[in-house]
């Protein structure tokens, strides 16, 4: 009996020692692990954005992919952002004399090659080692606007240099540190950014179940976030949001307007009344968005509120739209519903992962071809023609649910 006791005690001591060694080894690796993102640099063949996402999932680390692709809670709004486009029909028009549709347009005085820009999205370094600098070069080569997230994994200077003079906007998450807010905006101005995109739909982070399940923490620094200096590495999005301001009012818009000479775009509008108040506070443009379904789950799809907001705005300021754009027909439907331009986020990151800046160019080439095809079949020669095109919500064919 004594020998059995000694044997069991010995086994327990050995198991404890092994457990401690494994714990220390795991902790060491967690503290010293170097994240490895894709270094692909190539043109990519895109069949569909859905297929692009599946390919990107194969090469982006699982927790990072879930952070990029995921939404809030059950992701109902995330899915609805895409599926709601199916509830709108485009009238095919013939005998309209359309020949090689012209995709060029402008927004806030900036000429772009197609009515699609890059939406702000955090941490492109999760997808590719070139990070936002790669995205910026791809956007510049494609003749469109890059909107830089405050939570980028490249510095503003690196991104501006990669853009080589191409138009860029800076998305601002207001920090609780007002001095830092002014400093980062002054830096954006000095680097030639053409607008400030004030994001107001994230007073707190959404309840993102995927990130919680994965205990996702950023393996890269986010150098444009207060506090600066790289302390963001190893933090979850909740900890990073804790430094952000979470008390927004229309005075916030007036305040930001008072200390920048750049146009201020208010991003995160989902209700006509909020659009009206933002314009009254001095917004130079309205950005209709539900943050890609990453904030309030159970809210409407962005496309479901766009036309109502556009009616209230009544062309007083430009309208940018995002959330759910995955094809040329989606672009067409959003513009026909009242948007001046649309923005894409996740598809850009997927393309970056698969091909670097060349992959981003391939994505915009795909969207140009896809939108041109839809415009041809819908009998629209220009982007202005899309704005005047007839579309038909499917509820017109049956009784709409009140």
Active site residues per annotation? 291
Note whether 297 and 77 are within 8 A (CB).
yes
Cis peptide before 227 (omega within 30 of 0): yes
Closest CA to 284 of 251, 307, 304, 261: 261
Query: Could you tell me whether strands 391-393 and 88-90 are parallel, antiparallel, or unpaired per DSSP bridges?
Result: antiparallel
Note whether 336 and 310 are within 8 A (CB).
no
Closest CA to 317 of 122, 108, 75, 44: 108
Note whether 121 and 350 are within 8 A (CB).
no
Contacts of 364 (CB under 8 A, 6+ apart): 113, 114, 116, 138, 139, 142, 144
Residue whose tokens read 């026909």? 336
Note whether 255 and 283 are within 8 A (CB).
no
Beta bridge partners of 267: 199, 287
In which element (H, E) is residue 306 found? helix 302-313
């Amino acid at each position: 009996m004594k020998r059995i006791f000694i044997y069991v005690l010995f086994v327990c001591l050995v198991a404890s020692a092994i457990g401690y060694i494994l714990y220390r080894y795991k902790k060491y690796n967690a503290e010293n692990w170097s994240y490895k993102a894709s270094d692909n640099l190539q043109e990519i063949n895109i069949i569909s954005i859905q297929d692009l996402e599946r390919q990107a999932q194969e090469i982006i680390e699982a927790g990072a992919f879930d952070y990029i692709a995921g939404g809030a809670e059950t992701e109902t709004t995330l899915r609805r952002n895409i599926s709601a486009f199916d509830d709108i029909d485009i009238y095919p028009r013939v005998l309209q004399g359309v020949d090689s549709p012209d995709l060029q347009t402008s927004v806030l005085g900036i000429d772009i090659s197609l009515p699609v820009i890059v939406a702000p999205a955090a941490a492109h370094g999760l997808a590719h080692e070139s990070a936002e600098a790669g995205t910026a070069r791809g956007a510049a080569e494609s003749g469109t606007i890059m909107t830089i997230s405050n939570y980028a994994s490249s510095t503003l200077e690196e991104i501006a240099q990669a853009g080589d003079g191409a138009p860029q906007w800076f998305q601002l998450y207001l920090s609780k540190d007002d001095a830092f807010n002014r400093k980062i905006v002054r830096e954006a101005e000095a680097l030639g950014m053409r607008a400030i995109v004030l994001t107001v739909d994230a007073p707190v982070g959404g309840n993102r179940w995927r990130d919680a399940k994965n205990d996702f923490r950023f393996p890269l620094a986010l150098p444009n976030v207060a506090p600066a200096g790289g302390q963001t590495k190893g933090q979850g999005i909740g900890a990073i949001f804790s430094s952000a301001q979470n008390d927004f009012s229309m005075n916030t818009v007036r305040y930001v307007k008072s200390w920048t000479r750049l146009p201020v775009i208010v991003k995160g509008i989902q209700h006509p009344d909020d659009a009206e108040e933002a314009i009254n506070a001095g917004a130079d443009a309205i950005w209709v968005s539900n943050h890609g379904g990453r904030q309030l789950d159970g809210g409407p799809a962005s496309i479901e509120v766009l036309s109502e907001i556009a009616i209230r705005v009544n062309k007083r300021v430009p309208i940018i739209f995002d959330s759910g754009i995955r094809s040329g027909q989606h672009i067409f439907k959003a513009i026909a519903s009242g948007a001046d331009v649309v923005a894409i986020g996740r598809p850009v990151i997927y393309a970056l992962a698969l091909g670097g800046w060349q992959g981003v160019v391939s994505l915009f080439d795909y969207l140009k071809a896809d939108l041109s095809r839809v415009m041809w079949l819908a009998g629209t020669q220009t982007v202005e023609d899309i704005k005047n095109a007839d579309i038909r919500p499917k509820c017109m064919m049956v009784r709409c649910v009140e």
